[in-house]
């Protein structure tokens, strides 16, 4: 992995929001959603970003590809700072960096067919491609993600949740990007469908050599797909390292709590883990009281 090219290099990225302060006189206060986050991503690698809801995972992922405005820092794509790119350069960047969203149905236009949804990025980034070739690419991509060509004229409401997410994956892949940001891409799906989508992403990564930023709150899911894991807590990186090392030898208390929160099918082991969680809560309460 170390010999592979670094395609994304993020340094000291922070994102702040002004929010209503409340109270009699109103006004605003600053919310530090992401605080001085740094990481890199290599070609063909999956970096898992984990943490509870509200910890800044999605904000970070959108900021580094400039779907949100970062307050400070650098996000270098192939050596060039995304934050300093012109609008024209950003349009060119979008075909290399695509995104899969959390809610598969909400992220699809209900008035467009599956074929039109998947073809839309081609119309934007490759207008020179004729209709025949465009349709051929759409059908090829549908079959690659496990959808039959006969579904090309169906609308999103005619598909299951898992199938809708496959449409989203096909749309993201149609431009043959180098990086896909998966923002809670499986959290809205049933467990069995989650496994299917994760296995699909892993197979596609192996075939196409794409890199993934895989965002989730479930560290067990991230462990399955990622080579490295980064743990976020209140917008800050508290731990980053090889996936197996982070899971088997966590250094930070928050990482330990994330791991302890994963249910285990063994009743005896689950009871031991519940006792561990209770002890950790007592220790945290005692530390807070002492402070």
The pLDDT value given to residue 288:
67
3-state DSSP assignment of residue 74: strand
Enter the pTM of the model.
0.83
The pLDDT value given to residue 289:
73
Phi–psi pair at 15, nearest 5 degrees: -135, 120
The pLDDT value given to residue 1:
42
3-state DSSP assignment of residue 45: coil
Secondary structure E strands in the chain: 6-20, 28-42, 46-50, 72-77, 80-81, 97-100, 179-183, 211-216, 228-233, 236-242
For 196-207, write each residue's pLDDT tens digit: 888 888 888 888
CB contact at 8 A, 199 and 114: no
For 114-134, write each residue's pLDDT tens digit: 999 999 999 999 999 999 999
For 36-48, write each residue's pLDDT tens digit: 999 999 999 999 9
Phi–psi pair at 140, nearest 5 degrees: -60, -40
Smallest CA-to-CA distance from 46 within 167, 180, 165 is with 180
Average pLDDT of adjacent 10-residue blocks, the chain of 291 residues: 81 91 74 93 94 90 94 95 94 91 87 96 93 94 90 94 90 93 82 81 88 90 91 94 91 87 61 65 72 61
């Amino acid at each position: 992995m170390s010999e592979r090219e670094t395609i994304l290099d993020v340094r000291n990225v922070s994102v702040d929001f002004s929010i209503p302060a409340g109270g009699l006189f109103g006004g605003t206060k600053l919310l530090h959603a992401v605080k001085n986050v740094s990481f890199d991503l290599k070609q063909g690698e999956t970096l898992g970003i984990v943490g509870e809801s509200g910890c800044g995972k999605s904000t970070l992922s959108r900021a580094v590809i400039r779907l949100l405005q970062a307050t400070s820092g650098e996000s270098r794509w192939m050596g060039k700072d995304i934050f300093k790119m012109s609008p024209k350069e950003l349009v060119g960047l979008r075909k290399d960096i695509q995104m899969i969203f959390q809610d598969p149905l909400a992220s699809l236009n209900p008035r467009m067919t599956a074929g039109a949804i998947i073809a839309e990025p081609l119309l934007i980034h490759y207008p020179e491609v004729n209709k025949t070739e465009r349709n051929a690419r759409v059908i090829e991509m549908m079959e690659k993600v496990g959808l039959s060509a006969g579904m090309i004229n169906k609308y999103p409401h005619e598909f299951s949740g898992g199938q809708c997410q496959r449409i989203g994956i096909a749309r993201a892949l149609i431009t043959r990007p180098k990086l896909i940001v998966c923002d809670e891409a499986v959290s809205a799906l049933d467990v069995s469908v989650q496994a299917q989508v994760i296995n699909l992403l892993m197979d596609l990564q192996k075939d196409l050599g794409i890199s993934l930023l895989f965002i989730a709150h479930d560290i067990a899911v991230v462990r399955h797909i990622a080579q490295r894991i980064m743990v976020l807590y209140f917008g800050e990186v508290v731990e980053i390292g090889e996936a197996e090392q982070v899971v088997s030898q966590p250094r930070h208390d928050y990482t330990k709590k994330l791991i302890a929160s994963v249910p285990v099918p063994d009743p005896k082991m689950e009871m031991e883990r519940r006792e561990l969680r209770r002890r950790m809560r007592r220790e945290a309460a005692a530390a807070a009281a002492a402070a």
